[in-house]
Structure 1
Amino acid sequence: MSRSVLVTGGNRGIGLAIARAFAEAGDKVAITYRSGEPPADLSELGVLAVRCDITDPEQVEQAYKEVEDKHGAVEVLVANAGVTRDQLLLRMSEEDFTSVVDTNLTGTFRVVKRAARGMLRARKGRIVLISSVVGLLGSAGQANYAASKAGLVGFARSLARELGSRNITVNVVAPGFVDTDMTRALTDEQRAAILGGVPLGRYAQPEEIAASVRFLSSEDAAYITGAVIPVDGGLGMGH
C-alpha cells in the first residue's frame, strides 16, 4: 500500500538514501531541502521536493500544505535534517550552539508536531528520528551537535508514551560514521583513527541506514516504539 512519506533533509547523504528506498518500494515520497538542488533521479522516481528551512515555522507549515495537497496527510515522517558547527567549548559561540540545537532538535519538534496532527486524526503513523552515535557517547568539539542529537532520544521516548494509544510509533535511528561526502572529506589519518574504534572496521553505507528506517516504518515493526536503534558497526555499544 502506497503511503505518504516525508523525509526532511532528503536531498543528499542519508536522507537521500532514505527517500530513494521508500520511493523504490512504491510509497509517495516528499523531501524537504534547504539549499542546492535535489538529484535529478528523485523526480524520475516521483519524489516531490519542497524547499524548506525547518528553523522557520512558516516554511514548515507551507511545506506540509504542499505535501498534503499532492500526497495527502503524512503517514510516515523521517526527521533527518541536521547541521554541524563543530568547535571546542571555549571557542564555541552562542550562535554555534543555538543554531545547531534550533535545527537538529527544535526543528525536529516543529516537523513532528505538524505531522502528528494528521496522524492523530488517522489514529496511525510512523515517526523516525535520525540521531547519531555522537549523541550517545559524545565527541570532543561537538558538544552542540551531541546535545541536540541526545535530546532527540528523550523527545522520541516522551512522544512514544504520549502517542502510543493512537497507534503512532516513535523511534530513533542512531547512525555511526557513514560513507558520505562529509566523511570522504576527512584525511586518511582521520579516517583510519575513526575506523580503529569500529568493531566491524568499515563505514556504513547510507542504504544501510535507510534499511533500518524502512523497517521501523513497516508493519513488521508495529510493536516497536521508543527504541533507539544503533547502526554504527558497534562503535557506540553499551550506550
Structure 2
Amino acid sequence: MKSNIVIAGIGKGMGSSLAYYLKDAGYNVFLISRGSNVKEVAGKAGCEFYNADLNSYPQCVEAIKAADRTMGGIDAVVNVAGNYYSNQSIEETEPEMFMDAILNNARTFYNIARAALPLLKRQKHGSIIGFSASENVYYNSNPGYASGKGAVYFMVKSLARELIKYNIKVNGVAPGFIGKNDDEIKSNIELGIARRYPPDDINRTVEFLINSEMVTGEIIPVAGGHDINLNSGI
C-alpha cells in the first residue's frame, strides 16, 4: 500500500508538479496551502486539501489534524513553500523584504515539521522533507532568500540528529532553477548550462526520500550540474 503524503505550499510550479506526480504514482496525497491555486490542483489531482497560512503555526496544526483524519495517518510531510527569489543586492533588499523572505522559506518548514511531529513520534516512523536551494541559486539570489534557504539546510541537519531516536527521517532537496512552463524549458536537457530545468528529477528525488529506510540528514542537490561550473575563488 502506498504512503500517505502531505504536501505543504502549492503554487503553480514545484508544489503542483509534485502533487500530480505523487498522485499519479498511486500515493494518497493531501495538500495544504493558503493560495487559491490549491483548490484547482486538488481538483485536477483528485485529492483533498486544506487552506492554511503556513506562516501560522496554529493553522498548520489544524491542517495536519485534518490530513490525519482524512487519510488515517501520515507517513511523510513535504514542505515546498518558498518565495521572494530575486537577484537583488543587499542595498536593493529592504529590511522588511529581507525578513519576509526568511520567514516564507524557513518558518514555513519549521511550522509544518513541528505540527506533524507529535503524530510522527506516536507512529515511531515517518519522513520530513524540506526544500533548500543549490549553490547556483544561492549565489544569484538576494540576501533574504539565501538566508531562508540556508536556514532550511541547517534545520534539516539539526532535526535529523534530534529525531533519529524516533525513527523519523529528515531530509532536504536542493533544486536548481526550475522551469514553470514549456516556454522556460527546452526539450533537450543540457547539463551544466545556466538555465531552467524541468521538475521531473526533483519529483523522483522526493519519492526516493519518502521511501528510503536509511537516508536521513541529507540535502540532495538536483541542479543539472550547474553548481560544478562555479569558480573555486582560489
TM range (shorter): 0.7 to 0.9
Give the equivalent residue in structure 1 for 2:216. 225
Distance 1:231 1:141 in 2: 17
Residue 41 of structure 1: how far off its partner (Å): 6.0
Gaps of 5+ in 2: none
- Report if aligned partners of 1:209, 1:231 keep a CA contact under 8 Å in 2: yes
Cα distance change of structure 1 residues 98 and 155 upon mapping to structure 2, 3 Å threshold: same
Contact 1:10 1:18 in 2 (8 A): no
**Segment of structure 1 superposing worse, 227-236 or 86-95:** 86-95
| Aligned match of 1:213 | 206
Unpaired runs of at least 5, structure 1? 186-190
Distance 2:226 2:145 in 1: 17
Conservation of the 8 A alpha-carbon contact between 2:79 and 2:130: yes
| CA displacement, residues 68-89 of structure 1 (integer Å, 9 cap, x when unaligned) | 2211332111111111153321
What's the TM-score once normalised by structure 1's chain length?
Answer: 0.84
Contact 2:76/2:126 (<8 A) preserved: yes
1:61 equivalent to 2:61? Answer yes
1:117-140 CA deviation, whole Å, 9 max, x = no partner? 111110100111111114x76334
The match for 1:106 is 107
Counterpart CA distance in 2 for 1:106 and 1:3 is 26
Task: Work out the CA distance in 2 between the residues paired with 1:40 and 1:34.
Answer: 12
TM-score (norm 2): 0.86
Task: Report the counterpart of residue 168 of structure 2 in structure 1.
Answer: 168
Q: Which string of whole-angstrom CA distances, capped at 9 and with x for unpartnered residues, describes residues 122-170 of structure 1?
A: 0100111111114x76334511101111111110011111111222111
Taking the aligned partners of 1:39 and 1:64, their CA distance within structure 2 comes to 17
The alignment partner of 1:53 has SS state of coil
Q: Which amino acid aligns with 1:4?
A: N
Structure 2 counterpart of 1:89 = 90
What's the Cα RMSD here?
A: 2.7
Q: Kindly indicate whether residue 221 of structure 2 is the aligned counterpart of residue 235 of structure 1.
A: no
- Percent of aligned positions that are identical: 26
Between the aligned partners of 2:92 and 2:193, the Cα distance in structure 1 is 34
Question: Does residue 1:203 correspond to 2:202, yes or no?
Answer: no
Task: Map 1:4-15; keep pairs closer than 5 Å.
Answer: 4-15=4-15
- Say if 2:197 and 2:224, in contact at 8 Å, map to a contact too: yes
1: CA distance, partners of 2:35 / 2:14? 16
1:139 aligns with 2:139: yes
